Chains A and B, each alone.
Chain A
Amino acid sequence: MTDTLSQFSVLSLYSAMAIYAIAFILFTFDLARGGGREASAAGASDSIVQATGEGRTATLTRVRVDAPSSKPGRRPLARIAMALAWLGFVFQLTATILRGIAASRVPWANMYEFAMTGTLIIMLVFLLVNLKWDLKFVGAFSTGLVLLLLGLSATRYYVEVVPLPPALQSYWLVIHVFVATLGTGFFALGFALSLAQLLQTRREYRAVEAKPTRLAWMSRLPDSAQLENYAYRLIIIGFIFWTFTLIAGAVWAEKAWGRYWGWDTKEVWTFIIWTIYAGYIHARSTRGWRGTRSAVLAMVGFGSVMFNFTVVNIYFKGLHAYSGLS
């Protein structure tokens, strides 16, 4: 039974990867065609309220507008890619749930499972944020990253379903690890937006100097300030989750290892990541650091998250030795 279910899980995961691959290609083509929002004509609609009553009239006129209003452009490729991303997500969700049922526990107890759930959350955050803001241009990055991580974990980190060792038998496994994946999901999107922000800043400089640029395809993406605002909104949510991961981890460590903090290698890196993102949040409100420097910090932060997940897990000696790889 366990074997059958975990085989279905693998099958479903491979299907998801195939779908993501197509979505990735379409997202990339959409980008190459200058994907991004079509800016609306200036001054399309300034009045917000038109009110009349008993012979009295009022007109509210918006004099300055904070964010440029936008309407969805005609981008069939991006829309198909988006639909495929949702479809792939459903397959991956199925794969993850089957794995959990096969193991009779949460599907994030070793590196393979953590990668599966973690990338699922990265996709989920991407899809949900797109319901609020049009960030389809990040699709190439999100599907690409998820594909890369899934490919790596399916080929290198795959382990059969095994029961939990006593050290992991705790409800804190459910809380601590899941919150860590949530934080990772938001940081991933923040990374992509910060990268876009850096490129956009470069393009904007080139445009001001009237120099040719190979980044012309970015001209219809949001401007660098808007990209930075998006990145910041997402990263502060990730930072809250990461703070919670740190605290939940300490509470669990106290229960399992008899001390809440011991500078174990994984603890060290969780702390380093927290510090970098704390730096990012401060950088945004420091003169001379908002913009390019804070974007670099956001990228270093997510680089550290990935380092923590791969290199620290496999090559560094420590108590968090749950990769399941021997």
Chain B
Amino acid sequence: MLRPSDHIDSEQAAASDDATMGRLGFVGWSRWIWRQLTSMRTALILLLLLAIAAIPGSIVPQRTSDPNGVSQYFADNPDLAPWLDRLQFFDVYASVWFSAIYLLLFISLVGCVLPRSKHHWDALRAAPPVTPHNLSRLPSHLTARMSGQEAETVMSAAHRLLRRERYRVRRYDTADRLTVSAERGYMRETGNLVFHIALVGILIAVGLGGGFSYTGQRVVVEGQAFTNSLLAYDTFNPGRFFRDRDLVPFSITLDKFSTRYEERNVNAVGQPIDYKAEVTTQVRDQAALQQVIKVNAPLDIGGTNVYLLGNGYAPSLTVRDPSGNIVYQETVPFLPQDRNLTSVGVVKLPDGLAKQVGLIGFFYPTVSEGHSGAFFSMYPDLIDPLVTLNVYVGDLGLNDGVARSVYALDTSRMTKLTGTKTDLKSLELRPGQSAALPNDLGTVTFDGVKRFASLDVHHDPTQGWVLAFALAAVAGLLTSLFIPRRRVWVSVRKVRGGVVVEYAGLARGDDPTLSAALARIASAHGSDLGLVRD
């Protein structure tokens, strides 16, 4: 085993580095730096640095996993946040410093693993080493006197025994003694190398996967369909090497979305128990299929996975002008705000009415009224639904070319006509009911409510590879930690009236059972020779 110079089992470096450092040229310096980088100590420190560097990402919200948290952090800490941002604390795991640590760690790892692999490859085909002169100096050692035995008989019995015990063996006889040198547990080093190479494999697969993968989110209301194309997604995050034609042509129709809530357990009334999206899927040129998507049970379609990550209510609203002409008729997904699915949604009416009108709606699937008169939802299922609408008029801000979220209404250039701090109550509508918009703008009708599912579409061509490498790493870890690598020597010397047999063992790496194993070999050797225990 070719180990870094500061490995506990390697020989102490003979020459001191410091003595020659003054006269090092470029090559010498490079070699020195490389040796430092691939030393155990450096790898260890990089490993611990990696652990420390990962901590901030669990304390400060991260853009990748919690973008809203980042915005909130900026709002809460206006002085600190920009500084943290400059130090990449909101993107810790893609930051220069985090990347630098793990890249150095992996360079160090490769620099260690490559020469060791070469060395191990040679060792796998080499014979066990020559028997040391003085076996009694080895850490594990036993001696036996056997009377009336021939040296060669005793030796060949030991040779056979060690081969049976799956040792690699080689005889080294000299004039005064017969010896056999044996080694086993080569799998320990193989496992060690497999583990470390598999880690490099994981890193590469994850890196490539990030480039070729994509994720897209789409909200689908019951009865709606969407096709797997860039235009269909509400949000879409492609990897660096993503091309449009990587999108497998398929379509998904949400036929029905059903939920089940706990009704009997008083400690958990209203807790969701089951979400089920029944869909019709169709890959281009193939027959349509009826399928189900559930939480923990994604849909696999054309090598792409579709996950059910959220759901909510989508009230159907119709707005008519004063003469009764329909200017708006949509089923609008409202975003859930709490566990009883009080939901908020927005309707924007840029054209068709006398002025631009915006509606901010609240939806309560089972409405109840609090002491202050404010509504809230007391149960997530549809038992007594109600929509309330706050009406705004003015400039919706749709004409200045800035992209606006469909879930938010910019009220900075609008006037509030109904709701708190106005003279009029919010419009309150139950299914089928209509109400007049203030200032004779028209009417709004709550036609009914459907459910929506928010689907995540995720394609990652390398995640199978990541799993394979991870499993290889576990296999490598198991063999490298639990298979003992050890050398055993047996020597037989002729003495008057018989022979003296010496058994010696040397652990290569951690080996708590070495002396027990040596004792077992000695004992078995005795039995093989017909020496019976008392």
Contact = CB atoms under 8 A, between A and B. Distances in A.
Given A258-B309, A259-B458, A272-B55, A317 B142 contact: no
Nearest to B7: A285
Interface string B457-487: 0101001001100110110011001100000
Nearest to A290: B8
Contact of B142 (A48, A50, A244, A279): A48
B401 interface: no
Given A289-B44, A290-B8, A229 B534 contact: no
A225 to B, nearest CB: 12
Kindly state the interface size class of chain A when it binds its partner. Answer: 35 or more
Interface stretch (B378-386, B443-451, B514-522): B514-522
A258 B148 contact: no
A52 B294 contact: no
A62 B62 CA distance: 62
Interface stretch (B240-248, B323-331, B419-427, B524-532): B524-532
Interface stretch (A10-18, A74-82, A261-269): A261-269
B308 to A, nearest CB: 9
Contacts of A55: 147-148
Interface string B298-323: 10000001010100000000000000
Nearest to A57: B147
A221 to B, nearest CB: 18
B54 to A, nearest CB: 5
Given A2-B265, A64-B140, A287-B8, A233 B512 contact: yes
A258 B144 contact: no
A272 B93 CA distance: 13
B356 interface: no
B315 to A, nearest CB: 24
A64 B48 contact: no
Contact of B54 (A2, A233, A272, A283): A272
Contacts of B456: 258
A165 B259 CA distance: 12
A166 B523 CA distance: 60
B132 interface: no
B44 A279 contact: yes
B8 to A, nearest CB: 5
Nearest to B482: A236
B40 A247 contact: no
B63 to A, nearest CB: 10
Contacts of A229: 512
A48 B522 contact: yes
A258 B530 contact: no
Nearest to A265: B58
Nearest to B46: A279
A161 B295 CA distance: 22
Contacts of B271: 162-163, 165
A256 interface: yes
Given A167-B295, A256-B296, A59 B65 contact: no
B262 A162 contact: yes
Interface string B496-524: 00100000000001101011000100110
Interface in A255-307: 255-265, 268-269, 271-272, 275-276, 278-279, 281-290, 297
Contacts of B470: 247, 250
B224 interface: no
Given A51-B534, A240-B478, A263-B57, A169 B40 contact: no
Given A51-B531, A236-B481, A287-B8, A282 B55 contact: no
Contacts of B71: none
A223 B421 CA distance: 77
A260 B456 CA distance: 14
Contacts of B530: 53-54
Kindly state the interface size class of chain B when it binds its partner. Answer: 35 or more
A49 B526 contact: yes
Given A279-B47, A286-B8, A317-B61, A256 B458 contact: no
A221 B208 CA distance: 52
B215 interface: yes
A282 B139 contact: no
B298 A162 contact: no
Contacts of B509: 285
Given A262-B65, A287-B8, A162 B309 contact: no
A192 to B, nearest CB: 19
B171 to A, nearest CB: 22
Contacts of B463: 254, 260
Contacts of A282: 40, 43-44, 47
A260 B466 contact: yes
Given A49-B523, A265-B58, A275-B51, A59 B145 contact: yes
B143 A60 contact: yes
21 contacts: A48-B523, A49-B144, A59-B145, A60-B142, A60-B526, A61-B143, A64-B139, A162-B265, A163-B268, A165-B271, A166-B273, A243-B473, A247-B470, A258-B298, A263-B93, A278-B47, A282-B40, A285-B8, A286-B7, A286-B41, A288-B6
Given A62-B141, A169-B295, A272-B51, 12 more contacts: A2-B265, A56-B498, A59-B145, A61-B144, A65-B515, A162-B267, A163-B273, A258-B309, A263-B64, A263-B92, A275-B50, A312-B58
Interface of A: 2, 48-67, 159-167, 169-170, 172, 229, 232-233, 236, 239-240, 243-244, 247, 250-251, 254-265, 268-269, 271-272, 275-276, 278-279, 281-290, 297, 312, 316-319
Interface of B: 6-9, 40-41, 43-44, 47-48, 50-51, 54-55, 57-59, 61-62, 64-66, 69, 92-93, 136, 139-149, 206, 215, 262, 265, 267-268, 271-275, 294-298, 305, 307, 309, 456, 458, 460, 463, 466-467, 470-471, 473-474, 477-478, 481-482, 498, 509-510, 512, 514-515, 519, 522-523, 526, 530-534
